[in-house]
Structure 1
Amino acid sequence: MRQSLQRTAQDDLRGKTQKEAQEIARRILCVFPRYTSSFATFEHAYELTTGTRACMPPQGLLVIAAVLPKSWQVRFIDENMEKAGDSDFAWADAVFVSGMHIQRRQIDDICRRAHRHGRPVALGGPSVSACPDYYPNADYLHIGELGDATEQLIDILSQSVSRPDRQITLKTEARRNLSDFPLPAYELAKIDRYLIGTIQFSSGCPYRCEFCDIPGLYGRIPRLKTAEQMVAELDKLLACGVIGQIYFVDDNFIGNRAAVAQLLPTLIDWQKRTGYAVTFACEATLNIAKHPEILAQMREAAFDVVFCGIETPEPEALKGMDKKHNLVVPILESVQKINSYGMQVVSGIILGLDTDTPQSGRHILDFIRQSNIPMLTINLLQALPRTPLWDRLAQANRLDHDESRESNVRFLMPYDDVVAMWRECMDEAYDPERLYERYEHMMRATWPNRLPRPLSKARRAPANVRRGLTMLAKVLWKVGIRGDYRRPFWRFALPYLLRGDIEAILTVAISAHHLIMFARDCRMGRGNASNYSPKLRLVEEPATQ
């Protein structure tokens, strides 16, 4: 049953607006659009888990849900799990939607369904904030982050929930401090049905990589939450049933190194208090390898994964995209340094750069072999609005808005050659034999360096044990018996199975299965060549079980 809860989260409306809004009960339907299948959705992993239906909960929409007036009722539906139905739209007075560029078509579909029921749609999030002209059919456009535009929207809806005669744009001029953010409304979401949980400590990044829209959207000076907020959010996530891992969605976790150094002791204390019930993951620039004092504390706080945008092993390409900070320490040395603190490096890789040659794909595959990084997001270059790359390519007439293409960039190399090079890289990188060899290296070179975790009450809880055994049974049956890459799986898994190391088997097998299957989708033309690809593909309906 979908949850429809009376909001009790803090309300930051001020003065008369606050009082008026509180006196009117509204029903708000928050709908998060389904993702088009991509590397990052991890949907192929779900069949090996216990009821996972989506990758991670959306922070933005759950924060917006938390700031609505106390008298308003809020219903949250993630369409990656189940589709909002006619009864949901009929229940609502207004519909809130947020999403990224890759969800554009699904956002339009939600607008159409809401309008069939005569409900106004308020759209916010990174896509509309960067490209409001993409969404002519939404009734209210919330441009920017939480702030005065949010208060204006609440004020408007407290007066009327009729659809306006024309589209209304509300732009945040005064952003709310992250330290004043409420706890996200995790209680509205089915947190235990997500592959991983999410949390945010900071927003913004000091670097200005040519292709990245983060500085344009969120600024170059990272804004921060307090340590007390983080503890409260972690406690709430745990109470709502988060399982396994919590991912810090910060644009760059070490964007403010001094603040992170102050936060990490709090995270370590929280892990000790909760018995290391979860592990952490984050995204950070590769120059984190220069700071062993931070890496040591991250190890003690049980950070197991760091996503680093390596992008390319070619130095001239890194200089061309204004990512010279990746060269402060030699790339392979940086990867090994992070590994030495027990953290797996996940890497972003880009093809289609102006500096690419027909040999660039082979250089990337050589780098993958040398670095032994198991998991890499290998994407074609996409030009995002509000980036230096977009401006440069627009001036050179090198943007292509044909949505049948895998990229909106007119490459200097022939388009078909670049796409073929990408498919070759995906095919070879995620060949089961090669992938499991890299995971075996990870288990030898990285896994033993992790902080030993106590066999705490939280970790040995009966529900946790049952979950692990159920997942092991699914892995052994679907991969070890019925799978067509059984040989490399058993070569890796059998020694760990004989030692009773179920955690090692599950950690590798579930991720590897998604990588292998998604690479096959790409080979068959069913997988997008980028998390931002404009190419429209069939979006399957989510299961309703």
Structure 2
Amino acid sequence: MKILLVSPTTPETFWSFKHVLRFVSKRAAFPPLGLLTVAAMLPADWQVKLVDMNVNPLSDDDLRWADFVLLSAMIVHKASVSEVVNRCRRMGVPVIAGGPLFTTGHAAFPDIDHFVLGEAEELIRWRTQTGAKMGFFTEASANLADDAGLCELMVRAGFKKVFVGFETPSLESLKECRKLQNCSRDLVETVKTLQRAGLEVMGGFIVGFDKGARARSRMYPPRALRNQSGWGLRWKNLGLPRSNRPSYCGPTLPRC
């Protein structure tokens, strides 16, 4: 059996670190450790090849060689994944896919033959059984602070940091972007609650709402909130499939 592991192209964003990698003599920021872990779990007599598209192009010869293509992707990789899947379909190579992109978004990829889903649910059991010490990081909304049980489970699972979208101090803009869970809460106290639970908080802020954006851009991040949150980032917002937020900013929504 010939297995081709493909890590899709990461587009040029803040997180790709494209223009700073040369300062540390690297070609890509994130090695595909998930795919490499899967490779180690495959039968020893199978032939395995890895193509990281952030380092080397995926050739037709690679696809012709493979009996199966295994893909792992985050949401930011959607365009690259679509390109790879289309090429595999044209060449008759079956695709198996897993990762955050497919956890809630697999319905958008009808041409993928098999999905690996639900693996995160085993995380606490795995850590308990193996004693693994690695830490994790995720994104969440501010109302995570209302669920003490979930915070406790996250810490037990090994989560050490959480990114929270505070977006803006403007109630008007929060309603405009439908970030209603932030409208009736003390965000400074939210950060303190998460910190008391054992989670380091990174804060995200959006500049460029339709109403009064230029005036409010000078308010980011609010000083009280900045003093509590150890990190502050600004970026384009993106909603997950089946969430109560739009997937992309449309013409009637804020220009994120």
Q: Do these two structures clear the TM 0.5 threshold for a shared fold by scoring above it?
A: yes
- 1:410 match: 251
| Cα deviation 1:484-539 (Å, max 9, x = unaligned) | xxxxxxxxxxxxxxxxxxxxxxxxxxxxxxxxxxxxxxxxxxxxxxxxxxxxxxxx
Matched, 1:256 2:151: yes
CA distance in 2, matches of 1:135, 1:258: 32
Question: If each structure's strand is expressed as a fraction of its own residues, which one has the higher value?
Answer: 2
- 2:79 match: 105
CA displacement at 1:107 relative to structure 2: 1.1
CA displacement at 1:110 relative to structure 2: 1.7
| Cα deviation 1:147-184 (Å, max 9, x = unaligned) | xxxxxxxxxxxxxxxxxxxxxxxxxxxx8622565xxx
- 1:81 match: 55
CA distance in 1, matches of 2:41, 2:60: 26
CA distance in 2, matches of 1:67, 1:324: 47
The answer as to whether partners of 1:179 and 1:229 remain within 8 angstroms in 2 is: no
The answer as to whether partners of 1:349 and 1:378 remain within 8 angstroms in 2 is: yes
- Correspondence 1:343-382 to 2 at 5 A: 346-351=202-207, 357-358=211-212, 360-368=213-221, 370=223, 371=226, 376-382=232-238
**Unpaired segments of 5 or more residues in structure 1?**
1-25, 147-174, 182-224, 235-246, 264-280, 285-306, 391-398, 400-406, 420-545
CA distance in 2, matches of 1:330, 1:363: 22
| Cα deviation 1:178-208 (Å, max 9, x = unaligned) | 2565xxxxxxxxxxxxxxxxxxxxxxxxxxx
The answer as to whether partners of 2:88 and 2:94 remain within 8 angstroms in 1 is: yes
Give the TM-score normalised by the residue count of structure 2.
Answer: 0.70
CA distance in 2, matches of 1:176, 1:69: 25
The answer as to whether partners of 1:60 and 1:98 remain within 8 angstroms in 2 is: yes
CA displacement at 1:364 relative to structure 2: 4.0
The one-letter code of the counterpart of 2:180 is: M
CA distance in 1, matches of 2:207, 2:166: 12
The one-letter code of the counterpart of 2:85 is: C
CA distance in 1, matches of 2:66, 2:99: 20
CA distance in 2, matches of 1:130, 1:262: 21
CA displacement at 1:37 relative to structure 2: 0.9
CA distance in 2, matches of 1:258, 1:109: 37
The percentage of aligned residue pairs carrying the same residue is 26
Q: Secondary structure, in 3 states, of the residue corresponding to 1:389?
A: coil
The one-letter code of the counterpart of 2:238 is: Q
CA distance in 2, matches of 1:45, 1:345: 25
Q: Secondary structure, in 3 states, of the residue corresponding to 2:221?
A: helix
CA displacement at 1:283 relative to structure 2: 3.2
RMSD, matched Cα: 4.2
CA displacement at 1:348 relative to structure 2: 1.4
Matched, 1:283 2:142: no
- 2:241 match: 385
Matched, 1:36 2:11: yes
- 1:145 match: 118
- Correspondence 1:68-467 to 2 at 5 A: 68-115=42-89, 117-138=91-112, 140-142=113-115, 144-146=117-119, 177-179=122-124, 225-226=127-128, 228-231=130-133, 248-251=136-139, 255-257=150-152, 260=155, 282-284=160-162, 307-314=163-170, 317=174, 320-323=179-182, 327=186, 329-330=188-189, 346-351=202-207, 357-358=211-212, 360-368=213-221, 370=223, 371=226, 376-390=232-246, 407-412=248-253, 418=255
Report the count of equivalent residues: 241
**Unpaired segments of 5 or more residues in structure 2?**
none
When residues 226 and 365 of structure 1 are mapped into structure 2, their CA distance, relative to the original with a 3 A threshold, is: farther
CA distance in 2, matches of 1:88, 1:229: 38
CA displacement at 1:84 relative to structure 2: 2.8
When residues 228 and 47 of structure 1 are mapped into structure 2, their CA distance, relative to the original with a 3 A threshold, is: same
The one-letter code of the counterpart of 1:257 is: E
| The structure with more radius of gyration | 1
The one-letter code of the counterpart of 1:125 is: G
The answer as to whether partners of 2:2 and 2:47 remain within 8 angstroms in 1 is: yes
Q: Secondary structure, in 3 states, of the residue corresponding to 1:43?
A: coil
The answer as to whether partners of 1:108 and 1:137 remain within 8 angstroms in 2 is: no
Q: Secondary structure, in 3 states, of the residue corresponding to 1:177?
A: helix
The one-letter code of the counterpart of 1:178 is: L
The one-letter code of the counterpart of 1:127 is: L
The answer as to whether partners of 1:39 and 1:377 remain within 8 angstroms in 2 is: no
CA distance in 1, matches of 2:170, 2:78: 33
The one-letter code of the counterpart of 1:45 is: V
When residues 76 and 47 of structure 1 are mapped into structure 2, their CA distance, relative to the original with a 3 A threshold, is: same
The one-letter code of the counterpart of 2:136 is: F
The answer as to whether partners of 2:69 and 2:96 remain within 8 angstroms in 1 is: yes
When residues 68 and 363 of structure 1 are mapped into structure 2, their CA distance, relative to the original with a 3 A threshold, is: same
Give the TM-score normalised by the residue count of structure 1.
Answer: 0.37
The one-letter code of the counterpart of 1:111 is: V
- 1:500 match: none
When residues 141 and 258 of structure 1 are mapped into structure 2, their CA distance, relative to the original with a 3 A threshold, is: closer
CA displacement at 1:63 relative to structure 2: 4.7
CA distance in 2, matches of 1:129, 1:259: 18
When residues 346 and 180 of structure 1 are mapped into structure 2, their CA distance, relative to the original with a 3 A threshold, is: closer
CA distance in 1, matches of 2:125, 2:157: 19
- 2:28 match: 54
When residues 119 and 84 of structure 1 are mapped into structure 2, their CA distance, relative to the original with a 3 A threshold, is: same
CA displacement at 1:142 relative to structure 2: 0.8
